[in-house]
């Protein structure tokens, strides 16, 4: 389990797999989403990517942003832009870029809605499915999963899936408005044992 940085702390991403950090909304946790479940699809065939690479800017429209908001279980996605670059690497591909969004979340402290800006770097490698299947992974090595690429499916990659995933990763799982703090409950004083109480009474006498 990888904890996200608290509000106000530097955004150092803990070194863990994206799968461990991708939080599906509650209704989706019981099953892996199929292509028809995904709220935003933007497939790119690698045959259309030139040797020098391809720059792609994704800006979901209002209906797509509403679908994304429902999928990640927040009130609204006001705006979202993903500036991406696809580079061919051998039989695979490398996608880098940055996602920026303004979303509305519900504070876990006051239960009030508030708007917040998100920013998330995207850096994902893709490889043919057969190459991934043939690649042995040491299950005892926690670093091994980090190097696993995503699969190229039917000769292409789905940038919309990446946008959905990294939007989810950028969300604070415990959102709160600036200045809000969790209230700490004072612990009740520990009850004295009968022997400790007797010793206390003797000290007073």
Q: What is the pLDDT of residues 48-77, one digit of tens each?
A: 999 999 999 999 999 999 999 999 999 999
pLDDT computed for residue 157 by the predictor: 96
User: Contact at 8 Å (CB) between 163 and 80?
Assistant: yes
How many residues make up the chain in this entry?
205
Q: Which pLDDT does position 18 carry in this prediction? A: 54
Token pair in block for residue 31: 């099953």
Q: Is residue 97 within 8 Å of 55, Cβ to Cβ? A: no
DSSP single-letter state for residue 153: B
Query: Looking at residue 88, what is its pLDDT?
Result: 96
The pLDDT value given to residue 3 = 47
Integer Cα distance of 18 and 169 in angstroms? 8
The whole-number pLDDT of residue 132 equals: 83
Decide: residue 173, CB within 10 A, 0-12 exposed, 13-18 middle, 19+ buried: exposed
Residue-level pLDDT at 148 = 81
Report the pLDDT value the prediction gives residue 180, as an integer from 0 to 100.
Answer: 82
Residues of the chain with pLDDT under 70: 1-36, 136-147, 183-205
DSSP-assigned letter for residue 191: P
Report which DSSP code applies to 192: P
**pLDDT at site 130:** 87
Nearest residue to 171 via CA among 94, 76, 96:
76
């Amino acid at each position: 389990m990888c904890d996200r940085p608290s509000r106000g702390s530097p955004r150092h991403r803990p070194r863990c797999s994206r799968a461990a950090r991708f939080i599906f909304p509650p209704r989706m946790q019981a099953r892996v989403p199929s292509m028809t479940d995904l709220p935003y699809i933007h497939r790119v065939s690698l045959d259309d990517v030139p040797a020098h690479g391809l720059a792609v800017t994704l800006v979901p429209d209002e209906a797509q942003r509403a679908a994304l908001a429902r999928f990640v279980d927040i009130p609204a996605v006001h705006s979202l832009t993903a500036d991406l670059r696809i580079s061919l690497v051998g039989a695979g591909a490398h996608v880098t870029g940055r996602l920026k969004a303004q979303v509305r979340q519900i504070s876990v402290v006051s239960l009030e809605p508030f708007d917040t800006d998100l920013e998330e770097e995207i850096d994902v490698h893709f490889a043919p499915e057969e190459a991934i299947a043939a690649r042995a992974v040491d299950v005892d090595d926690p670093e091994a999963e980090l190097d696993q690429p995503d699969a190229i499916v039917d000769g292409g990659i789905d940038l919309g899936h990446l946008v959905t995933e990294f939007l989810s990763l950028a969300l604070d799982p415990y959102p709160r408005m600036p200045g809000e703090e969790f209230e700490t409950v004072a612990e009740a004083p520990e009850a004295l044992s009968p022997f400790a109480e007797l010793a206390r009474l003797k000290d007073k006498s």
